[in-house]
Amino acid sequence: MTAPAQAPAFPVRRRALLARRGRAGGITGRPGFLTYGLLIALLLGSAYPLWWSFVVGSSSSAVRGQTLPLIPGGNFLANAATVLDAIPFWQALGNSLIVSSVITLSVVTFSTLAGYSFAKLRFRGRDGLMVGVVATMAVPTQLGIIPLFIMMKEIGWTGELGAVIVPTLVTAFGVFFMRQYLVDVIPDELIEAARMDGASMISTFWHVAVPAARPAMAILGLFTFMMAWTDFLWPLVVLNAGNPTLQTALQNLNSGYYVDYSVVLTGAVLATIPLLVLFVLAGKQLISGIMNGAIKG
């Protein structure tokens, strides 16, 4: 009777040798000076446009071609008051919050449901439907503006917030993103165990898929809110001047023969503040999702 073959010990010995070499060479796994330097440079480069907008917005007046200092002035509050008087700022802010919140909630919900279905359920035509969803991402959004506007006009939705919300209740990118995340993060054995315990399809999705998908849902929600908040072309086409979003209302500051860019960029800074607040509040989930994806990869 022969003894069972033993697994080679080379991988274990190799990992132990590498660990000893790492400790001997001072490799602790912490980022070095170069990493921090690149992160600081990236942070400064990303923050400079917002800082420059604040500097221009705090000046007394700014016209094209004028050289401006890098130190902010003391007129930001006065320019902010001018913005509030020139456009229906609070109405536009409320409309943007409604549109962005509803779109974000809908995209995250439907994308998670569809992504879970494409990733873990077996049904006829699944791969072909997924290819069709991905193929729609190659179609420019601008090609559908005219027929979409005609449809909204026929049903009487022009000038209404529903005309901005309904066409983006779900996105192909959201479905693809959630499918790619859930395809590996949820073991098939876990779903089979839930079904053997008597869990229904919805119960399995709620208790198994949703907890695993929360980091990706936070990232998708953050990016969806940002895209809906900064959307300009479609709200400009379908909404009227009496019911604008914040981005379409701000474009009125840039009209006329004489344009005071200090007022224009003050409005831009005011419109950016809600996004900054959202990034601060969702930063923990964002970092958690990125780290989970890095560990999984």
Copy the structure tokens of residue 177.
Answer: 């993103």
Do 216 and 170 meet the contact criterion of CB atoms below 8 Å apart? no
Question: Rounded to the nearest 10 degrees, how much is the dihedral formed by the CA atoms of 256, 260, 263, 269?
Answer: 100
pLDDT value for 290: 58
Q: Give the Cα separation of 254 and 236 in Å (integer).
A: 14
Reduced to 3 states (helix: H, G, I; strand: E, B; else coil), residue 153 is helix
pTM exceeds 0.85 = no
Q: For each successive 10 residues of the chain (297 residues), what is the average pLDDT? A: 46 49 50 84 85 81 60 82 90 94 95 92 88 89 88 90 92 92 86 84 87 87 92 91 89 78 87 87 67 50
pLDDT value for 100: 95
pLDDT value for 43: 85
- CATH of the domain spanning 69-296: 1.10.3720.10
Copy the structure tokens of residue 223.
Answer: 């990016």
Copy the structure tokens of residue 42.
Answer: 């990236």
pLDDT value for 31: 73
Q: For 232, list phi and psi in degrees, rounded to 5.
A: -125, -45
Residue spans of the domains in the chain: they are 69-296
Copy the structure tokens of residue 191.
Answer: 């779903």
